[in-house]
Structure 1
Amino acid sequence: MAAPLSRRGLLRTAMATAAASGLSYASAGPSAAAALPAPSSWTLRPFDLKDVTLGPGIFATKRRFMLDHGRGYDVDRLLQVFRANAGLSTRGAVAPGGWEGLDGEANGNLRGHYTGHFLTMLAQSYGSTGDQVYADRIRSMVDALTEVRSALRTSPSVLGVPGRFGTAAENVRGSYQYVDLPAGVLGDARAVTLSAWVKPTHHADWARVLDFGDGTTRYLYLAARNANGTPRFALTTSGAPGEQGLDGDEQLPLDRWSHLAVTIGGGTGVLYVNGSAVAHGAITLDPAALGTVRNNWLGRSNYPGDPVFAGAFDEFNMWARALTAGEIAELQDHRAADSPAGRGDLVSYAFDETTGPTFADGSPRALHATLRRTWGAPSHPGFLAAYPETQFITLESMTSSDYGVVWAPYYTAHKILRGLLDAHLYTDDPRALDLASGLCDWMYSRLSRLPASTLQRMWGIFSSGEFGGLVEAVCDLHALTGKPEHLALARLFDLDSLIDACAANRDVLDGLHANQHIPIFTGLLRLHDATGEARYLAAAKNFWDMVVPTRMYGIGGTSTGEFWRGRGSVAGTISATTAESCCAYNMLKLSRLLFFHEQDPKYMDYYERALYNQVLGSKQDTADAEKPLVTYFIGLTPGHVRDYTPKAGTTCCEGTGMESATKYQDSVYFRKADDSVLYVNLYSASTLTWAERGITVTQTTDYPREQGSTLTIGGGSAAFELRLRVPSWADAGFQVTVNGTAVQGKPLPGSYFAVSRTWRGGDIVRVRVPFRLRVEPTPDDPALQSLFHGPVNLVARSASTSPLRFGLYRNAALSGDLLPTLTPVRGEPLHHTLDGVEFAPFFEGTEDPTHAYFRRDEPRIAFGNTGSGVANPSRPDGTTFLDEVWAGAPFRDKGALVSRVRSTVDAWVSAGLLGRNEGRTVVRTAQSASYTP
């Protein structure tokens, strides 16, 4: 391993890379928009989404549901948490809930991530369809985020709202704002009256109306809610054990004005709610006993773990005497200034201000108050988030995971950055690029100051240190800005222990959180593109092989309970929380990027598997205005029912699911860098507009319901090589014709079949991809198998929670195809029945209980639906007699099959695994049976 570069060295490297990158801009969206320049290390180039339109079929149908969701969802709900964090009006919007709000899992510590996903989904929707509604929604969100960043850059400003008498000051929940009163506000008062109008908007216990003190020893406070939910006043000079308190008897209503008052004098305290005395008690301490305290706050507690008051304040007054009950009563219907008590002589705030951070004191003392944030101000003007910078600051000193305290702040930053980048790339909005660039400037300003050891520790912490695909996004930003700090920032996320192990092909994945680590490798590939560092590419390639197929489920997914187990552990890890959808999304991205570097067909074989099964199957086939209806986990246990609204919504997987459903066409076609070759990677109804060659390519197909595709060339003439993917499972006669004439050559499964010619408008290429029904055993339990017809995983639909048992050899075809054993369901392509159980494609997004795996059970030897009555013996490794016979398929004719049966019988009889008479019976059965070709 080369010695790590110093930060100065990183900057020099970044500057050189930027100078050599040759930044270019081209049409990337429906109108002229900024395009990312393709790295010179890519031997292939992708097409823009606008260049590939989807035709009728399963992809277009699934996408329509998501397009409608993106068109109709109220984006102000997404922006609520951003506006709240900046102390702006949330316009009455309600945060989506789940992970996207303050009341969700882990106190909403991931809030903001979903907005980034939604921006990317809108950008891809606009890029794919050109529908202006998506661009308009992007513009409105960028408007809001620009306003949010501006508000965060400055001191908080009063948010004036209608009050009890005039204007009130609102502290939006999530703004962490409070009112800071000057020192000495209590003076040396021996008696005091506190009076405030409050309108709470949240039911958090111990949120303070006021708290004057020096930490947690000397203080007096008035809380809107105690542990029982009722108001409480307390005064102490010896901490919580010494509190002298008064407690109310009823909870304050939310979203309604309530008047609270406390009088202390002559050793007695009285608590009033809405003019009525609700508690009397001895209060032998007086305010003067506290002395001069440093923290005099409205809305904030001296106990740092207590919540900040959420709601509005109106008319806060303090008098240096105990008002009478009559004077308190008069405050219910009059401003203090118009009441017998008059304005407070210690302090008096009417909260009539509507701008700025200052509240005027109407008392003779002129102790003007200031609106502040509990977390101060951002450390850099580029900061943009839906929560305080404290999440990022706290991570820097953490040594172990606690997502209830810090939950992946840099992961959330990635989603916001990616959404802004995509907004810029598809709409050419310079403000989105400015926000993205500023966000990375802020990250660099924080992280570049930290020691390398701190960074390594941070990125190694489970969950809290997760940063998603941030490196990839930062590299993409650097390709647009050329700023050396941005490339230097990308390298600050290197997790050397993981990179070095994978570069050396040392598998260290057991026990790691899957989705925390998969996107690291897409970032490493982009770093390789930017820096040329070989270990990044080697690590990514080796990592991919550590996951596929050794930690992969049949549908293409990976992880159980979000984590990986040892190599080859598949059957042993099946649970209700297998195959996290984000993992499939990120494995597709990684496979795609690897294919740009070297055209190993295995990457596209995997891409087809995961896309046509898990990704399609993770989206419910239902329209919904409020939810994207995408799975988090896809449980593979027997009888599992998919949950399309997991964890109350707005999870990471629903975010990536929105993205997946609006870019189904992004890998159907690739082109060689010099435009001499066109790759057809997927058979999908679509039309490619290849502007550089002046042609179109239209695929007409209902694949995978149809076993093949027809490609029609449109436009002028162009000479290039057409490379058609031959799936690794396509061993049953892949054929290609051009204008009705068969193309010579032998297509090899798991390769690309090349057709070179000068193409002309009207040329027709017909690709025949015959499917066979096959099984895929799990590596750690060969009898536990999944069923595939061509690229499609067929799942049994059954409510049974025990593994189903099936035999498949009883009517196998001479080709080795197991399909004749099943009975097709008329009018429903890819649907079959076996032993009364329906099998259906995994990609159908239903809520039927399914079995993605079944237990293979071939108790008796049979051929062509003719039973022999002989038990099907097995070897110690689990291989049965029938397994060994059918391993020789395809058979050219019945005689070849019978010959295979006879030789297998002889071997098994010699090994003592089959009786001689039983062997004769088996051979006679094979001879007498009839077979499908």
Structure 2
Amino acid sequence: MAPPLSRRSLLQAATLAAATPATAPALSYAATDPATAVTPTAVAIPSTWTVRPFALNDVALGAGVFADKRRLMLDHARGYDVNRLLQVFRANAGLPTGDAVAPGGWEGLDGEANGNLRGHYTGHFLTMLAQAYAGTREQVFADRIGTMVGALTDVRAALRTDPAVLSVAGRFGAAALNERGSYQYVELPPAVLGAATAITLAAWVKPVHDDNWARVFDFGADTTRYLYLAARNANGVPRFAVTTSGAGGEQGLNGTSALPSNEWSHLAVTIANGTGTLYVNGAAVARSTAMTLTPAALGTLAHNWLGRSNYPADPVFAGAYGGFDVWSRALSGTEIAELQGSRAADASTGRGDLASYAFDETTGGSFADASGRGLTATLRRTWGGPSHPGYLAAYPETQFIQLESMTGSDYTKVWAPYYTAHKILRGLLDAYPATDDDRALDLASGMGDWMYARLSVLPAATLQRMWGIFSSGEFGGIVEAICDLHALTGKAEHLALARLFDLDKLIDACAANTDTLDGLHANQHIPIFTGLVRLYDATGEERYLTAASNFWGMVVPHRMYGIGGTSTGEFWKARDVIAGTIGATTAETCCAYNLLKLSRTLFFHEQAPKYMDYYERALYNQVLGSKQDTADAEKPLVTYFIGLTPGHVRDYTPKQGTTCCEGTGMESATKYQDSVYFAASDGSALYVNLFSPSQLTWADKGVTVTQTTGYPRDQGTTLTIGGGSATFELRLRVPSWATAGFRVTVNGRAVSGSPTPGSYFAVSRRWRAGDTVRVAVPFRLRVERALDDPALQTLFLGPVNLVGRNSATEYLEFGLYRNAGLSGDLLPSLTLVTGKSLHFTLDGTEFAPFFEGTEDPTHAYFRRSEPRVVFGNTDSGVANPAKADGTTLLDEIWTGAPFGDKGALVARVRSTVEAWVSGGLLSGSDGTKVVSTAERAVFAP
């Protein structure tokens, strides 16, 4: 009897469901003894799955295009400083960030929408590290996971408590730092200004960022009565203002130059007898003799803050305070100058008599007042604190709170907070089984508990509205991740949480097979359906699986480009409009990533070859081609969009990096092997889905299967059985494009049967060590036509999309029938480039595999132009006529391919010509010329 499954084993099962293509190091294979090989922990597979995947560490990649691409990403995984990723988390919790600089793009506070998506990239990176470790067992990846999980554990603990002082070196002794992104400020007691009729306020500050309108101090009742000093106004210079009638009634003083960042500056303001003066570093920079308002005119003030503004939209001051003093008189210029060389306590002025804070505390969350008035100050967060101890994020909970009342999208205020939560949760769920670090599970479980506590109390109508909001309500693959979490924890609340993300309008439409996708944001919705399949696994509710299956069929092929990608400018257009949607922002890379996940998850329930046909298409083309063939420790070099316009040059570092697509790109490049092999759930069969150099260790059977191939540069593969012996059916995928034959031999003997393109070919026997299976799958050059414009076409050789490399920005025109073979193969019309596999030329343009990650201008689509009837490079001199729908005479002739011999082709030409002549589409004399040309021509096989 097998031992009971551990909680880690359960999560591994969930992780298997989530994985997609991954890789291990290029390696030479040695014989493996299953009796001594390290085997993975047993995994629990949902009873609804009729096939199961293998763990990433069960499948090692051999040398080839996948290993090459993965090696480049592993260099990035080893070289990037993870403390940069953790910076935004630590800052949010008020923890030291050291010298780490937050990533650019979407991850930093200065990125798009003020970094409202920050934290998502850390989740992607954790997943990449977990997959890299599973595929390579390099300790460096496990160590980096440990660093990140440890830091996130510290972050959550800090978020659970009141903020604590972060002590740093000051101008004189110690100072208190408020990290940028911590949303921390200092609250002073109400009596701090003491209704003074004359006053001096002085502070030592060290700004760390050039935010406009961040307050050094702000004492006010609201946005009507207040007194403030901003480090920078709209012109970038310090500004002091006091008012009892709002912004329009401000009496103000403006500085003359900006305060330097990361340097200490002394600021002081004095008011007395109608005169106000602003000092910067001891020098008077502004004076007004019309400063009639004093603290006495403001009355009782509710908010007395250092670092926070009474205007909610203003930023929180980021930087350090080295002292703050308030006197009930106006200091002289000489006294202000004296304060440049010492603390107030050591100057002739003495400490402020209304308030005096040295900020030399090194622990705790309060600051002592040395004025003698006992006005202890307290460190606060603008958002108070998390609603639940499980909260973990790189920004305040306010985005989640605001989403609950939003009725329209505004990503500058709320940008997909649950999407970000998904990435963090997914990263933790992947880190846990990779390293057995219980802290990762605890963090993940806490996030589930927090989300349930937040969402379970909301009305159903609120949830439906939230999830229907573009961008702001996007939640990515969180349902899948929560189902995986539930499989691990067994908490009923976690399964209930997964169902709280149901977007009923979308689910019901897809379950009824009603296509409502036009106008929807593609990547916001694709991962929803992978989650629905997992909900079906957990609940048995059929509408989830039906909706997902129908949805897949609405995208493939109806909204799919040749490379396997989908979406235009992130959105879907009308069904079957392909040529009409091609632009510079087609094929968002995240969409391909998520369609791969959905395809494999559906295959676990229904072994329809179409899912793996799509998988091969998208993996070998868009996914591989989205990774630049260059090593870079600082950037993953992955595309966001892949423009399919003529002459498009791929951008491998869009938006300064750290986008969603670069995150999923990191994941894709470390799991290329995840769908090469599947096993029937009862162990009776092994599915070989992809022809990829790899070695499978099938522990349950005690065998290894080593696949040796240069595919797709080789047109076939060889599988060798190692280890012991076992009985099972080997199911070899016959690609739908394999119309030129599919031949299988076992130990040199041909296997009988007629493999059908778009199926699996089964070979059943008791396999023994040394058994060798050879598969030949000849490639043919073919075209795929845009559904809405058949003349716009893309080239494929076997599984490989061939793109023209040409800087022209208009569609190129090519003819391909000129030397087509009897088989219908168009390849003879192209010329092979010597020494460059899969590279060809046609009319002066080089065609190369899309998967090559270069920065060459490319043409994925071209215009088909066959102006004259040509056979075997013999020109008939007759114009190629066309029907009203665009079908030409040559199109109709060649749809009859393959032809067994030349006679069969000539017969097809003759019968087609007769039909066109009788239909008035071709003259009799021209028809005679066409037939005569076909009879004289020499055809390739």
CA distance in 1, matches of 2:785, 2:128: 37
1:930 partnered with 2:938: yes
The residue that corresponds to 1:352 in the other structure is 360
The residue that corresponds to 2:717 in the other structure is 709
1:174 pairs with 181, 205, 208, which one?
181
Residues 343 and 34 of structure 1, relative CA distance in 2, 3 Å threshold: farther
1:236 partnered with 2:282: no
> What is the CA-CA distance between 1:292 and the residue it aligns to?
1.6
One-letter amino acid matched to 1:367: L
1:532 partnered with 2:540: yes
> What is the CA-CA distance between 1:363 and the residue it aligns to?
0.8
> What is the CA-CA distance between 1:342 and the residue it aligns to?
0.3
2:139 pairs with 132, 135, 138, which one?
132
> What is the CA-CA distance between 1:503 and the residue it aligns to?
0.2
1:190 partnered with 2:207: no
The residue that corresponds to 1:211 in the other structure is 218
CA distance in 2, matches of 1:316, 1:285: 22
- Identity among equivalent positions (%) equals 76
CA distance in 2, matches of 1:365, 1:542: 72
2:395 pairs with 374, 384, 387, which one?
387
> What is the CA-CA distance between 1:91 and the residue it aligns to?
1.0
> What is the CA-CA distance between 1:876 and the residue it aligns to?
0.8
Q: 3-state SS of the aligned residue for 1:367?
A: coil
CA distance in 1, matches of 2:679, 2:865: 46
1:259 pairs with 266, 286, 303, which one?
266
The residue that corresponds to 1:200 in the other structure is 207
The residue that corresponds to 2:592 in the other structure is 584
1:665 partnered with 2:696: no
Asked if the contact 2:156–2:391 (Cα under 8 Å) also holds between the matched residues in 1, the reply is yes
One-letter amino acid matched to 1:59: F
TM-score calculated relative to the size of structure 1: 0.97
One-letter amino acid matched to 2:598: L
One-letter amino acid matched to 2:173: G
Asked if the contact 2:800–2:850 (Cα under 8 Å) also holds between the matched residues in 1, the reply is yes
> What is the CA-CA distance between 1:20 and the residue it aligns to?
15
1:78 pairs with 82, 85, 98, which one?
85
CA distance in 1, matches of 2:10, 2:103: 39
One-letter amino acid matched to 1:206: W
The residue that corresponds to 2:19 in the other structure is none
> What is the CA-CA distance between 1:61 and the residue it aligns to?
0.1
Residues 613 and 197 of structure 1, relative CA distance in 2, 3 Å threshold: same
1:560 partnered with 2:568: yes
Most deviating of 733-742 and 36-45? 36-45
> CA deviation digits over 1:792-815, x for unaligned, max 9?
000000000000000000000000
One-letter amino acid matched to 2:284: A
Q: Which runs of 4+ in 1 moved over 2 A?
A: 18-37
1:148 pairs with 148, 155, 175, which one?
155
Q: Which structure 2 residues correspond to residues 741-820 of structure 1 after superposition, within 5 A?
A: 741-820=749-828
The residue that corresponds to 1:13 in the other structure is none
The residue that corresponds to 1:872 in the other structure is 880
CA distance in 2, matches of 1:736, 1:408: 50
Asked if the contact 1:186–1:292 (Cα under 8 Å) also holds between the matched residues in 2, the reply is no
2:121 pairs with 90, 108, 114, which one?
114
Residues 586 and 35 of structure 1, relative CA distance in 2, 3 Å threshold: farther
CA distance in 2, matches of 1:98, 1:702: 38
1:829 pairs with 823, 833, 837, which one?
837
The residue that corresponds to 1:159 in the other structure is 166
Q: 3-state SS of the aligned residue for 2:378?
A: strand
The residue that corresponds to 1:294 in the other structure is 302
1:608 partnered with 2:616: yes
The residue that corresponds to 2:376 in the other structure is 368
One-letter amino acid matched to 2:876: S
> CA deviation digits over 1:55-101, x for unaligned, max 9?
00000000000011001100000001000100111111111110001
Q: 3-state SS of the aligned residue for 1:658?
A: helix
One-letter amino acid matched to 1:409: P
The residue that corresponds to 2:552 in the other structure is 544
The residue that corresponds to 1:309 in the other structure is 317
Residues 752 and 525 of structure 1, relative CA distance in 2, 3 Å threshold: same
Most deviating of 390-399 and 221-230? 221-230
Asked if the contact 2:7–2:489 (Cα under 8 Å) also holds between the matched residues in 1, the reply is no
CA distance in 2, matches of 1:278, 1:640: 54
CA distance in 1, matches of 2:636, 2:355: 52
CA distance in 1, matches of 2:380, 2:696: 55
> CA deviation digits over 1:459-509, x for unaligned, max 9?
000000000000000000000000000000000000000000000000000
> What is the CA-CA distance between 1:428 and the residue it aligns to?
1.2
Q: Which structure 2 residues correspond to residues 516-527 of structure 1 after superposition, within 5 A?
A: 516-527=524-535
One-letter amino acid matched to 1:514: A
Q: 3-state SS of the aligned residue for 2:107?
A: coil
Asked if the contact 2:521–2:571 (Cα under 8 Å) also holds between the matched residues in 1, the reply is yes
Asked if the contact 2:40–2:58 (Cα under 8 Å) also holds between the matched residues in 1, the reply is no
CA distance in 1, matches of 2:688, 2:650: 32
Asked if the contact 2:11–2:485 (Cα under 8 Å) also holds between the matched residues in 1, the reply is no
CA distance in 1, matches of 2:633, 2:780: 39
Q: 3-state SS of the aligned residue for 1:597?
A: coil
The residue that corresponds to 1:853 in the other structure is 861
Q: 3-state SS of the aligned residue for 2:604?
A: helix
> What is the CA-CA distance between 1:327 and the residue it aligns to?
1.1
Asked if the contact 2:741–2:777 (Cα under 8 Å) also holds between the matched residues in 1, the reply is yes
One-letter amino acid matched to 2:715: Q
Asked if the contact 2:8–2:488 (Cα under 8 Å) also holds between the matched residues in 1, the reply is no
One-letter amino acid matched to 1:188: A
One-letter amino acid matched to 2:779: F
Asked if the contact 1:36–1:479 (Cα under 8 Å) also holds between the matched residues in 2, the reply is no
1:916 partnered with 2:931: no
One-letter amino acid matched to 2:50: T
> What is the CA-CA distance between 1:33 and the residue it aligns to?
7.8
CA distance in 1, matches of 2:342, 2:97: 30
TM-score calculated relative to the size of structure 2: 0.96
Structure 1 unaligned residues grouped into runs of 5+: 1-17
> What is the CA-CA distance between 1:429 and the residue it aligns to?
0.7
> CA deviation digits over 1:23-77, x for unaligned, max 9?
7577999989877621110000100000100000000000000011001100000
One-letter amino acid matched to 1:132: Q
Asked if the contact 2:566–2:592 (Cα under 8 Å) also holds between the matched residues in 1, the reply is yes
Residues 126 and 40 of structure 1, relative CA distance in 2, 3 Å threshold: same
The residue that corresponds to 1:450 in the other structure is 458
One-letter amino acid matched to 1:151: A
The residue that corresponds to 1:14 in the other structure is none
What number of residue pairs does the alignment pair up? 916
The residue that corresponds to 1:224 in the other structure is 231
CA distance in 1, matches of 2:882, 2:233: 70
Q: Which structure 2 residues correspond to residues 494-513 of structure 1 after superposition, within 5 A?
A: 494-513=502-521
1:700 partnered with 2:697: no
Q: Which structure 2 residues correspond to residues 392-431 of structure 1 after superposition, within 5 A?
A: 392-431=400-439
CA distance in 2, matches of 1:170, 1:463: 34
Asked if the contact 1:825–1:833 (Cα under 8 Å) also holds between the matched residues in 2, the reply is yes
Q: Which structure 2 residues correspond to residues 22-33 of structure 1 after superposition, within 5 A?
A: 24=10
One-letter amino acid matched to 1:541: S
The residue that corresponds to 1:10 in the other structure is none
Q: 3-state SS of the aligned residue for 2:753?
A: coil
Asked if the contact 1:343–1:363 (Cα under 8 Å) also holds between the matched residues in 2, the reply is yes
The residue that corresponds to 1:57 in the other structure is 64
One-letter amino acid matched to 2:653: T
Residues 443 and 831 of structure 1, relative CA distance in 2, 3 Å threshold: same
Q: 3-state SS of the aligned residue for 1:498?
A: helix
> CA deviation digits over 1:375-433, x for unaligned, max 9?
00100000000000000000000000000110000000000000000000211110000
The residue that corresponds to 1:691 in the other structure is 699
The residue that corresponds to 2:654 in the other structure is 646
> What is the CA-CA distance between 1:370 and the residue it aligns to?
0.1
Q: Which structure 2 residues correspond to residues 880-919 of structure 1 after superposition, within 5 A?
A: 880-919=888-927
Q: 3-state SS of the aligned residue for 1:125?
A: helix
The residue that corresponds to 1:739 in the other structure is 747
CA distance in 2, matches of 1:868, 1:356: 92
Asked if the contact 2:8–2:436 (Cα under 8 Å) also holds between the matched residues in 1, the reply is no
